[in-house]
Amino acid sequence: MSEQEFKRALGYANSAFDLLKRSGIPPYPQFYELLYTYSTGVNPTLNARINAIFRNGDSPTTNLAETLYNEFLKSDVNDRMSSVSERMHARIEAVYEAIDSAMTTANAYSGSLQSASGDLEREISVAAMKELADKLLSETRRMQETNRSLEQKLEASRDDIASLQRDLDDVRRESLLDPLTKIANRKSFDEGMDGAIAEASETGVPLCLMIIDIDHFKSFNDTYGHQTGDQVLRLVAMTLKSNIKGKDLAARYGGEEFVAILPSTDMEGAVIVAENIRKAIQAKELLKRSTNEKLGRITASFGVAAYRPGDTPATLIERADRCLYAAKHAGRNRVISESELEAMQAQVEETKDVSAA
């Protein structure tokens, strides 16, 4: 974890504890998780609900926190996935039972055939022959009926399992999307980083990481409200996604930060992509939907880092983060890459040397 990421997480944690203390809610793990999630802003529906409570002047209580936790965090995608898995398990068990029943009938039929074979090897009367034929005919019809029943059950099970598989696929896709912006979430980004770094390490193809932070987002959010803030987040996400292609992955990293994994892209190409996105964001004029009031333009700062042999996701993120913070300190609304940051640092050192001399 980079120093900047640690500071962000610590800020969210302090905010959560402060809310717990001010509300008189005990700092149990589930309540801490609830208010930590609120502090990050990754669940817009939860934030809207809590903001409404604060606006109405209601005093948060333990019971209310419990209700919100059960509604927004306890019944999550994992529960839905578990439910689908249980239904699939039950359906597979039903298939096994149908097959076991059919096998029992088949074994009984095989036994009848073997018994009849032994009878036919001996001389038997016409009446006994007729009785044996009737018995075999009855057993055969029973076997046919069992087979038809098994086929019907297997057909129904096949359709049910296919439907359940589609449900599982939908839940998994949903679990990898940020609910507000509809682009990849942090979990999806983490998986994508692991895969991209493994590929770069094995093949030697270039890989770059871009981190984006919306400039002055907190003050914008405080001035115009969370709904307008959510509109800004969606706009940036849409702009980011529409300006990357192929195997690139755009994701919401947390709060007002976004990331893009750029496989098969060198530093020069990544900087060009970042500049295109920066200009596209700046070019969009924001309107307040309820009044059509012009709210001006938003800007974002960018940090770009390139994969180096031996890098882990943490080390690559840390270097991109340093570039992002350099862009912030350099006046915002700009892209700074590793190579530019190194040149800036070298220039600072040169200036120090000259001053010392």
- What is the residue-level pLDDT of the chain in tens, covering all 357 positions? 566 667 777 778 888 888 888 888 887 777 888 888 888 887 777 888 888 887 777 767 777 887 787 777 754 555 655 666 666 666 667 666 777 776 777 666 676 666 766 666 677 767 776 776 777 777 777 777 777 777 776 666 666 666 666 666 666 666 778 888 889 988 899 999 999 999 999 999 999 999 999 998 888 877 877 778 888 899 999 999 999 988 999 999 988 999 999 999 999 999 999 999 999 999 988 776 667 777 788 999 999 999 999 999 999 999 999 999 999 999 999 999 998 998 887 776 666 655 555
Asked which of 142, 175, 208 is the last residue of a domain, the reply is 175
Q: How many domains does the chain have?
A: 3
149 and 240 inside one domain: no
Domain interval for residue 43: 3-75
Q: What 3-state class would DSSP assign to 138?
A: helix
Catalytic residue among 256, 257, 338, 340: 256
Asked which of 26, 48, 75 is the last residue of a domain, the reply is 75
Whether 256 sits among the annotated catalytic residues: the reply is yes
121 and 210 inside one domain: no
Decide if 244 is inside a domain.
Answer: yes
| Tokens at 61, concatenated | 């209580």
Name the H helices within the chain. Answer: 3-23, 29-40, 44-55, 62-69, 77-121, 126-175, 186-203, 217-224, 226-242, 267-283, 313-329, 338-356
Asked which of 117, 144, 175 is the last residue of a domain, the reply is 175
CATH number reported for the structural domain that contains residue 319 in this entry: 3.30.70.270
How high is the pLDDT of residue 199?
A: 94
Angle (deg, nearest 10), helices 44-55 and 29-40: 100
352 and 205 inside one domain: yes
How high is the pLDDT of residue 353?
A: 55
Q: Are strands 335-337 and 300-306 parallel, antiparallel or unpaired?
A: parallel
65 and 86 inside one domain: no
Tell me the Cα Rg of the chain. Answer: 32
197 and 307 inside one domain: yes
| Tokens at 54, concatenated | 């604060």
Distance between alpha carbon 243 and the CA centroid of its chain, in Å? Answer: 21
Sequence-distant (6+) residues with CB within 8 A of 236 are 181, 212, 214, 258, 281, 298, 300
71 and 83 inside one domain: no
211 and 168 inside one domain: no
Decide if 26 is inside a domain.
Answer: yes
Distance between alpha carbon 281 and the CA centroid of its chain, in Å? Answer: 24
Decide if 180 is inside a domain.
Answer: no
**Contact present, 303 and 323 (Cβ < 8 Å):** yes
Q: Name the residue among 331, 53, 14 with its Cα closest to residue 6.
A: 14
Partner residues linked to 261 by β-bridges: 209, 249
d(CA 227, CA 331): 27
194 and 309 inside one domain: yes
d(CA 258, CA 301): 10
How high is the pLDDT of residue 120?
A: 65
113 and 224 inside one domain: no
Q: What is the four-CA torsion angle of 77, 79, 85, 86, rounded to 10 degrees?
A: -160
